[in-house]
């Protein structure tokens, strides 16, 4: 029971991060391997504001989100759009996007190393116990999970009720047909990419309240987010949330009962099972 | 074989013979750089054998390399002869490649990239866990093999890789792979078993990387997971191969030599900026050198020829 709830709390934050990646990969069709670095950058921002000015990480979200949005929008328009235009096929774009964002990931790690050094950073925010159904949990984990649920809910509503959100979902289904019904694909792809970056950075700020990060941990989060997105089905919001919760529980399970050093191995176990038995994702439809 | 084939074989043999004379200079630093270059030349060329024609970017070189290193280390500790551990490493590398290939190569390329990206870290976590359980920390590899031996072994390995690559390029398998790289759909429709072709080539690449790991194990003397499975190795191999260009068999070598020298210089004087350099190299490859130095050389040649034609 203890493991289950800790896992669910962790999974809630994972859902937010994976949602960011899903917006970028599923909707904007860019495999962004620099996703985790934005998470770490968001965490850095929260850490910096908290230690320097005692600003609550929850307030920092309102600074982190627009900054990350703007930066990701710039990255898409300046660096990725030329690749989209130049690509002759989807495969070509995929290879180019992977190499570019991987390069970007290293550049951001390099910059963060230069700015903050290679040390682990953590701070103590809301590190108080709270009792839920008879067991005690850290308040910061609960807060982060609740914030993640609120943001995920908001995103889900936006994608299902708002016109721009629904257009983005149409692009996720089929970019070519989306153009036929008058959707401005280049503009909305940039929007989805920027929004994805903002969501991930917010997730990073939340996760930094209870996990220790350092400049080079980004790639681990990218991998986990990718596993979640593929498991849930690319472009599928509901699947992402379910998959994130599953991964959170499995990881906590492995970390508590076997060894805390095996979390990635746990994620990979899920990944292999999905690839072997349901490559289209839990809720995805088989493409022809 | 045509006249040109003979020419290139003779040229390669001469170059190899010249390279083999490097230890005669007696300069230990030169030899150490030579080993690094030879190691990356073998790794990048064998990487390009698979990833060049198919465009499937493998980020898993370090996993195979570490597997080879550990095979040799564990083998020697259990009383095996060093030379016996090399073929064992090759077999294990091929087996790992088959497992990864069966899980991912039947699907679209992205799954393969993601899976290989975390593979080294995955194996490292499992090995570390195994060591925690058994209470053992690292392994000593004590042999009477010197740097010169390692260098010569790598050169022999390079020769084998080039010959294999050349043979594959002329075989039905190589032809099938080029079609897969152009259009996988077309390849499937013309009756090529695409997964089989891809897995076969990935096995060659994986087995080679594992053997390189075994060959280098005596150089490290003391082996621990963080050293054997360093992810940096995979990324460097990808950059060097793409920088040189994967369109030709000799392409990766053209990238390996300048990049190794640059990397050594940067690591020596600005050790904190290596990550930045790595990132910038990826961007340079995508935006400025999409076909690598090979593409640059060949378009230069074409321009020269056109100018001659007009004159």
Residue B193: its pLDDT value, please? Answer: 87
User: What is the domain extent for residue A56?
Assistant: 2-277
Whether residues B282 and A103 touch (CB distance < 8 A) is answered with yes
Tally of CA atoms within 13 A in the half-sphere of A27 that contains its CB = 29
pTM: 0.88
Asked whether residue A163 is domain-assigned, the answer is yes
Instruction: Answer yes or no: is A90 within a domain.
Output: yes
Burial class (CB in 10 A: 0-12, 13-18, 19+), B169: middle
Count up the domains in chain A and report the number. Answer: 1
* Å between A83 CA and nearest CA of chain B: 9
Q: Do the domain assignments include residue A252?
A: yes
- Tell me, yes or no, if A271 comes closer than 8 A to chain B by beta carbon: yes
Name residues of chain A where pLDDT drops below 70. Answer: 127, 134, 284-288
Please report where in the chains the tokens 């990239």 appear, as a residue.
B113
**Rounded CA gap, A228 and A216, in Å?**
20
Residue A41 lies in a domain: yes
Domains of chain B, first to last: 3-257 (1.10.3470)
The answer to whether B103 contacts chain A (CB < 8 Å) is: yes
- Is residue A164 one of the residues assigned to a domain? yes
* Cβ-based neighbour number of residue A119 at 10 Å: 8
Closest chain A residue to the Cα of B123, Cα to Cα: A265
Which residue does chain B place closest to A279, by CA atoms? B107
Per-residue pLDDT at A288 = 38
Residues in B touching A33 (Cβ below 8 Å): 117
**Token pair of A84, please?**
């989209």
Q: What are the tens digits of pLDDT across the range A229-239?
A: 888 888 778 88
pLDDT value, residue B256: 92
**What is the per-residue pLDDT across B225-257, written as a single tens digit (0 to 9) for each?**
888 888 889 999 999 999 988 878 888 998 999
Strand ranges (DSSP E) for A95-149?
Answer: 129-132, 135-138
Residue B95: the pLDDT is 95
In a domain, A287, yes or no: no
* Domain contains A285: no
Residue A284 in domain: no
Spell out the residues 6+ positions from residue A124 whose beta carbon is closer than 8 angstroms to its own. Answer: none
Identify the closest residue of chain A to B105 by CA–CA distance.
A275
pLDDT at B27: 83
pLDDT along chain B (311 residues), means of 10: 81 85 83 91 93 87 93 88 91 94 81 86 86 78 83 92 90 88 85 88 94 90 85 90 86 90 87 84 87 85 82 63
**What is the distance between the alpha carbons of residues A202 and A57, in angstroms, rounded to a whole number?**
10
Look at residues B292, B223, B267 and name the one whose alpha carbon lies nearest to residue B44: B292
Task: Note the pLDDT of residue B311.
Answer: 63
């Amino acid at each position: 029971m203890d493991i289950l709830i800790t896992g669910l709390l962790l999974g809630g934050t994972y859902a937010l991060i994976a949602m960011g990646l899903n917006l970028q990969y599923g909707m904007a069709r860019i495999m962004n391997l620099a996703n985790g670095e934005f998470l770490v950058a968001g965490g850095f921002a929260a850490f910096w504001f908290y230690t320097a000015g005692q600003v609550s990480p929850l307030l920092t979200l309102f600074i982190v989100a627009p900054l990350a949005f703007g930066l990701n929008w710039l990255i898409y328009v300046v660096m990725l759009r030329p690749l989209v235009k130049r690509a002759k096929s989807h495969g070509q774009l995929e290879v180019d996007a992977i190499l570019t964002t991987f390069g970007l990931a290293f550049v951001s790690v390099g910059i963060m190393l230069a700015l903050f050094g290679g040390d682990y950073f953590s701070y103590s925010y809301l590190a108080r116990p709270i009792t839920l159904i008879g067991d005690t949990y850290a308040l910061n984990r609960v807060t982060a999970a609740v914030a993640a649920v609120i943001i995920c809910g908001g995103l889900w509503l936006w994608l299902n009720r708002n016109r721009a959100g629904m257009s983005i979902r149409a692009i996720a289904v089929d970019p070519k047909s989306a153009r036929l019904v008058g959707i401005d694909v280049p503009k909305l792809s940039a929007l989805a990419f920027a929004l994805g970056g903002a969501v991930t950075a917010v997730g990073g700020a939340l996760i930094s309240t209870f996990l220790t990060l350092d400049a080079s941990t980004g790639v681990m989060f990218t991998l986990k987010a990718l596993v979640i997105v593929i498991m849930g089905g690319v472009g599928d919001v509901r699947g992402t949330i379910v998959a994130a919760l599953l991964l959170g529980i499995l990881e906590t399970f492995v970390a508590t009962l076997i060894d805390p050093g095996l979390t990635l191995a746990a994620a990979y176990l899920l990944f292999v099972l999905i690839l072997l038995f349901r490559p289209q994702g839990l809720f995805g439809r088989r493409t022809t | 074989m045509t006249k040109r084939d003979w020419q290139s074989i003779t040229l390669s043999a001469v170059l190899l013979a010249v390279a083999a004379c490097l230890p005669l200079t007696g300069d230990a630093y030169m030899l150490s750089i030579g080993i690094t270059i030879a190691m990356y030349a073998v790794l990048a060329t064998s990487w390009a054998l698979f990833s060049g024609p198919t465009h499937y970017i493998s980020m898993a070189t370090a996993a195979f390399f570490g597997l080879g290193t550990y095979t040799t280390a564990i083998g020697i500790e259990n009383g095996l002869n060093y030379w016996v551990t090399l073929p064992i490493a090759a077999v294990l590398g091929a087996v790992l490649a088959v497992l990864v290939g069966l899980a991912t190569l039947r699907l679209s390329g992205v799954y393969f990239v993601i899976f290989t990206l975390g593979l080294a870290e995955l194996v490292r976590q499992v090995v570390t866990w195994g060591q925690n359980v058994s209470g053992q920390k690292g392994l000593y590899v004590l042999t009477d093999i010197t740097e010169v031996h390692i260098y010569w072994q790598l050169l022999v390995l390079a020769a084998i890789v080039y010959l294999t690559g050349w043979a594959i390029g002329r075989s039905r398998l190589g032809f099938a792979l080029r079609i897969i790289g152009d259009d996988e759909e077309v390849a499937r429709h013309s009756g090529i078993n695409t997964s089989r072709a891809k897995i076969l080539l990935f096995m060659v690449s994986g087995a080679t990387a594992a053997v390189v790991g075994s060959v280098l194990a005596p150089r490290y003397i003391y082996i621990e997971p963080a050293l054997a499975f360093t992810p940096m190795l995979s990324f460097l191999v990808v950059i060097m191969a793409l920088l040189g260009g994967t369109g030709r068999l000799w392409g990766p070598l053209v990238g390996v030599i300048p990049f190794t020298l640059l990397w050594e210089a940067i690591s020596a004087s600005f050790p904190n900026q290596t990550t930045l350099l790595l990132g910038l190299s990826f961007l340079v490859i995508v935006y400025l050198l999409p076909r690598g130095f090979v593409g640059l050389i060949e378009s230069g040649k074409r321009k020269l020829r056109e100018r001659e034609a007009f004159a």
